Amino acid sequence: MSSSIKIGIIGAGPAGLTLANILQHNNIPCTIYDLDASPEARNRGGSLDLHPRHGQLALREAGLWDEFVKHARPESDVMKIVQQDGEVLWDGNGADACVVSEANKFDHRPEIDRGALMSILLGGVDAQSVKWGKKLREVMPAPNEQYDLHFADGSTESAFDLVVGADGAWSKVRRWLSDTTPHYSGITAIELWALNVKENHPWMSSYVGKGSCFSFGEDRAIQIQVQGDGSIRTYASLRKPETFLHDCGIDWNDTAKARKEFVQQYFGDCGQDLKRMLFESDDELVPRPLHMLPVGFRWDTRPGVTLLGDAAHLMTPFAGVGVNAAMADALELARGLIKYTKAKGAGSLAGTLKTYEDELFPRGEMFAQKTVNNMEKHFSADGNIHMADRLRTAFGPAKTLAAPQWSPA
Ligand SMILES: Cc1cc2nc3c(=O)[nH]c(=O)nc-3n(C[C@H](O)[C@H](O)[C@H](O)COP(=O)(O)OP(=O)(O)OC[C@H]3O[C@@H](n4cnc5c(N)ncnc54)[C@H](O)[C@@H]3O)c2cc1C
């Protein structure tokens, strides 16, 4: 086979677009197919933190570092931990916050809004190479160890030497490699948004601080995150059976009523400020049962098809590493393909994929195991203590404040 290969990437999420960026930055053409009708089709998503050795490194190798620096929010890399009765165990906000200084602001986990990250990644690729409104139905083998892509609109794209499944949780490409599908993690999150915080709820910004505010407890967790535009996204999550959303008696279509009933019933005993955060995050409500692939999921290498990102190792968001794992995969696969194309036929594409997957599997397992460990700790009675202890070990003495009461008197 020639070293010039036809590459089809399924999925224009962080994984697929990072791969496309690094390949195109190295003059390796590829085409990306996504089921969304346009880049604007998806909701905004939340804030993500990019680690120096994973997401940040991938953006550097894609030539997108300067763009990242323009949009990143290192100042949001701070955390507040609150007991569910309202006691503040740790607060990294304030003048003496030790996590971020000008000199080390990208050394930890600077935040970036998913929307900003997606704009950077989309801006870096040849716009003609992204095909919107193309929902993959199946991958089919073709002559000469190539593959055809069959789309839901009835169209077919032919003769790919390499098909990369970056098509997320419910990957259609994964079916070509394995029968394994994601399973319910045991956790259902209710995502709540407060949008015009500055005008409507200025107290929320003061309460949460510049970054994230977490409160963990037995079988439930509250995770609040400030976004780049000041809006606030909160996950109120419960350990519940998979049928919870249907069985709990709440009509999720009536979002205002649903929010009130949900908060009252499952978080009604929390401190006033936490409860108020949930009640007043009244702009959007999205119920999300969280799924995951088995920790250590792997498949037998097959020539010409591979996976990356959530398609390869879907995990819950409780370690905040999914996007970093996805971008690390993209970086490693791109490096392999660059080496292969530069070798002008000296290596093999099958060998390149084998090397990539041999490193992908343990890396994905490591991230997935960390996520499961965090999930167990977060949803336990001592979840806050664990987290506050970790922060004290990492960053110094306790930042325990007298809990300010932001709720109305
Ligand atoms: C509620 C929640 C909160 C999260 N919070 C964080 C966090 O704070 N930090 C973090 O690091 N990670 C977080 N994650 C995980 C993170 O969002 C994912 O790990 C990351 O988006 C994976 O990127 P991806 O490109 O592999 O998949 P995706 O982002 O899912 O992208 C897949 C793309 O494939 C497309 N697609 C799917 N099927 C097809 C098809 N059949 N044909 C064509 N296109 C298709 C989709 O339209 C999409 O554009 C969170 C996830 C969830 C659900």
Spatial distance between the Cα atoms of 162 and 368, rounded to a whole number of angstroms: 26
| Ligand 1 neighbours by CB, cut-off 6 Å | 10-16, 33-36, 46, 48, 134-136, 166-168, 172, 288, 309-311, 317, 320-324, 326
Under a CB-based contact definition with an 8 Å cutoff, are residues 156 and 346 in contact? no
pLDDT tens readout for residues 28-66: 999 999 999 998 887 667 889 899 999 999 999 999 999
Centre of ligand 1 to C-alpha 13, Å, is 6
Residue 72: both structure tokens together:
């990143």
pLDDT top residue among 36 and 395: 36
pLDDT value of position 408: 32
Three-state SS letters, 129-158: HEECCCCEEEEEEECCCEEEEEECCCCEEE
- The predicted pLDDT at position 402 comes to 37
d(CA 45, ligand 1 centre) in Å: 10
- 194-237 per-position pLDDT tens digit: 999 999 999 999 999 999 999 999 999 999 999 989 999 999 99
Give, in degrees to the nearest 5, the angle at Cα 150 between 146 and 151.
Answer: 145
Eight-class DSSP state of 260: H
Q: 192 or 96, which is more confident?
A: 192
Q: Label the pairing between strands 305-307 and 162-165.
A: parallel
Residue 320 Cα to ligand 1 middle (Å): 12
Residue type, 203: W
Q: How many C-alpha atoms does 362 have within 13 Å on its Cβ side? A: 3
Give the pLDDT confidence score for residue 101 in this predicted structure.
Answer: 64
How far, in Å, from the CA of 310 to the mean position of ligand 1?
Answer: 6
CA 325 – ligand 1 centroid, Å:
11
Distance 166 CA to ligand 1 centre (A): 9
Q: What percent of the chain has pLDDT over 70?
A: 93
**CA-CA distances (angstroms) from residue 322 to 14, 16, 271?**
10, 14, 31
Enumerate domains of the chain plus CATH numbers. 7-73+110-182+294-376 (3.50.50.60), 183-292+379-395 (3.30.9.30)
Angle between helices 349-378 and 322-342 (to 10 degrees): 170
Helices (H), strands (E): how many in the chain?
Answer: 14, 17
pLDDT at residue 406 in the model: 36
- Give 269-280 as a DSSP string: TS-HHHHHHHHH
Per-residue confidence (pLDDT) for residue 244, from 0 to 100: 98
DSSP at 389? H
Mutate which of 17, 112, 167, 371 for ligand 1? The one with the most ligand atoms within 8 Å of its CB, which is: 167
| CB contact set of 91 (below 8 Å; sequence gap of 6+) | 80, 81, 209, 399, 400, 401
Q: Give residue for tokens 């929902």.
A: 135
At CB < 8 A and 24+ separation, what contacts does 67-73 make? 67/120, 67/123, 67/124, 68/112, 68/120, 69/106, 71/112, 71/113, 71/116, 71/117, 71/119, 71/120, 71/228, 72/106, 72/110, 72/111, 72/112, 73/47, 73/110, 73/111, 73/112, 73/113, 73/228
Choice from 9, 31, 33, 34 to test ligand 1 binding pocket (greatest atom count within 8 A of CB): 34
Contact call for residues 231 and 197 (beta carbons, < 8 A): yes
